Amino acid sequence: MPERGTMAYTIGIDFGTESARAVLMDTESGEQVTTAVSRYRHGVLERSLPDGTSLPQDWALQHPQDWVDSLEELLQQMTRAAQPDRILGIGIDFTSCTLLPTTSEGRPLCLLEEFHARPHAWPMLWKHHAAQKYADRINASGWDLLAYYGGKTSSEWLWAKAWQILEEAPDIFHAADRLIEGGDWIVWQLTGQEVRSICQAGYKAHWQKGRGYPEAAFLAQLHPNLPQVLAKLSPPHPLGSRAGGLVSAWANRTGLREGTTVATAVIDAHASVPAVGVTEPGVLVAILGTSACHLLLSEKYLAIPGISGVVEDGILPGFYGYEAGQVSFGDIFEWYVRTHAASMYGGEEAAFQKLTREAARLKPGESGLLALDWWNGCRTPYVDASLSGMIIGLTLTTEPPHIYRALLEAAAFGTRRVIETFEAGGLSVEEIRVCGGVAERNKLLLQIMADVTGRDVVDANVLHASATGAAIYAAAAAEIYGSVHEAAKRMGSRKETVYRPIQEHVPVYDALYAEYRRLAEYFGGGTSDVMRKLRQLRVLS
């Protein structure tokens, strides 16, 4: 730890879906000295590649040059806010699974002329769902390890995506010396060393401590060439460890000191756990953004149906880290405002503000509506990208605030379903702690979550929580503190706002939630296949 009065800083950079964010942290006070945001020039590639090559349904790609440009811009801004020799560490977090095929030197295949117009050569973003049929084949295999991933793998994760590349573009598969997560690739650029993270490997590539990556014999049963993926990976490294030092090229580009510690990368949501000050079991950390991720620490190693995974040391060293989530969250509200309310209320920002005020005047149940929060599929508990959202109860008297409130309630119901999934599996949830962009902007939703779950919801009030967490991991990697736990206690959240359940709302929401469960089990649990059939018809057309 630095001596008192000696200023030491770390930088955390959070690579998100549409932009990257950075924070410069004072490691002693835990204060954010400065923050910055850099939007990706190409955004998410969902309809076409930059050269106009069209993309099929359910594709979601990114441009790796956007990451590099944002990285340089943000590091320069952070360096201008502090003396470079006082910046002792850099931490990176990244959306995951974001899978990038590269050469052995780390050159993205999509930047090579021969592959520039080939979609499979580009980074597949976390919400790329075009690999669903390969995930389905893995799920039908009887693979025992899936028990520790809620019973299913996902189209969003490495093995389904790698199999998609192998089957649909075998020349790209064989040309790729590496298949690497975006966060690990950024660390490679900064340090000149390929250093994988236990976090990305564990949750997205089915790596387990003591067992490693999936066995070659099992992969060969799926496809005879799939074991070749193992040679395109490398062993993962612990969180909070030093991946290497900043290379001279990046020092020259940014003004930072050559050799500055770069920490092993971490998944964006998982970085939020130390940022909100959580270092012990029993606290559900809900990161509320475009999607929602729910994380829980435990000393138990349990196979829980419906979750996204459990990895030893996957979030904080010394604990098993459990993950679940809602694949659609804030993007549902954004969709509704953008497509139905913005023109009516004078723009998106005005629409959000007015809808929130009007929805707050409604009592629980007053809208007469009930929604399923599956606009981008269901992560917990069904792990099925082919499911879709719905609203039931619409009448000629339904107004926009009614729909908006129903969507907020659906998001809260989905969170309650996650909590019940954890508890049914043998874990204890004693507190809910939230962070993320939606938590920062939508306090009505936090009150509804408290009413729906019947529990206190603690807003950690951390701006850019993922980037803050990345800076905390960097403080441990730079040995400013002796461990991630110690760094989290010193640099994590200290300001909290508590939303307590309004008692007269709780029984109404209990009744509505019971109907939500019935709808979810009907459409997602196998009784009705209508949502999947609708998606099939859309793809065929």
pLDDT tens, position by position, 311-325: 999 999 999 999 999
Tens of pLDDT, residue by residue over 388-428, are: 999 999 999 999 999 999 999 999 999 999 999 999 999 99
Between residues 536 and 412, which one has the greater pLDDT? Answer: 412
Q: What pLDDT does 541 receive?
A: 63
What kind and span of H or E run contains 444? helix 443-453
Q: What pLDDT does 537 receive?
A: 87
Say how many domains are in the chain. Answer: 2
Determine, yes or no, domain membership for 442. yes
Maximal C-alpha separation, the chain: 67
Say yes or no: 377 and 311 in one domain: yes
Beta bridge partners of 323: 295, 309
Interval 141-155 mean pLDDT: 95
Question: Over 80: is that where the pLDDT of 1 sits?
Answer: no
Question: Over 80: is that where the pLDDT of 62 sits?
Answer: yes
| pLDDT-based confidence at residue 117 (cuts at 50, 70, 90) | very high
Say yes or no: 156 and 97 in one domain: yes
Among residues of the chain, what percentage have pLDDT more than 90? 95
Q: What pLDDT does 45 receive?
A: 98
Say yes or no: 205 and 59 in one domain: yes
Say yes or no: 228 and 286 in one domain: no
* Domain housing 283: 278-459+503-541
CA 321 vs. chain centroid, Å, equals: 14
Say yes or no: 85 and 108 in one domain: yes
Question: Which residue type, as a one-letter code, is found at position 375?
Answer: W
Measure the CA–CA gap between 62 and 127, rounded to whole angstroms. 11
Say yes or no: 188 and 219 in one domain: yes
Q: What pLDDT does 188 receive?
A: 98
Residue in the block written with tokens 């089990």: 521
The answer to whether the beta carbons of residues 368 and 393 sit under 8 Å apart is yes
Tens of pLDDT, residue by residue over 439-462, are: 999 999 999 999 999 999 999 999
The CATH number linked to 105 is: 3.30.420.40
Tens of pLDDT, residue by residue over 162-203, are: 999 999 999 999 999 999 999 999 999 999 999 999 999 999
Q: What pLDDT does 538 receive?
A: 81
Question: Over 50: is that where the pLDDT of 291 sits?
Answer: yes
Say yes or no: 317 and 178 in one domain: no
Interval 6-21 mean pLDDT: 94
The answer to whether the beta carbons of residues 206 and 145 sit under 8 Å apart is yes
Question: Over 50: is that where the pLDDT of 273 sits?
Answer: yes
Say yes or no: 74 and 133 in one domain: yes
Tens of pLDDT, residue by residue over 466-498, are: 999 999 999 999 999 999 999 999 999 878 999
Interval 42-53 mean pLDDT: 98
The model's pTM is: 0.94
| pLDDT-based confidence at residue 526 (cuts at 50, 70, 90) | confident
Query: How many helices and strands in the chain, by DSSP H and E?
Result: 19, 20
Measure the CA–CA gap between 408 and 335, rounded to whole angstroms. 13
Question: Over 90: is that where the pLDDT of 385 sits?
Answer: no
The answer to whether the beta carbons of residues 167 and 139 sit under 8 Å apart is no
Query: Helix 506-524 crosses helix 530-540 at what angle (to 10 degrees)?
Result: 60
Token pair recorded at residue 358: 């009007």
Token pair recorded at residue 125: 């973003």
Three-state secondary structure call for residue 461 = coil
Determine, yes or no, domain membership for 470. no
**Which residue from 294, 279, 313 is spatially nearest to 416, judged by alpha carbons?**
294
Determine, yes or no, domain membership for 431. yes
Measure the CA–CA gap between 508 and 386, rounded to whole angstroms. 31
Average predicted confidence (pLDDT) for the chain: 96
Question: Strand order of the sheet with strand 497-499?
Answer: 309-312, 320-326, 292-298, 283-288, 431-435, 457-459, 497-499
Question: Which residue type, as a one-letter code, is found at position 228?
Answer: Q
Measure the CA–CA gap between 408 and 337, rounded to whole angstroms. 12
Among residues of the chain, what percentage have pLDDT more than 70? 98
Measure the CA–CA gap between 332 and 395, rounded to whole angstroms. 21
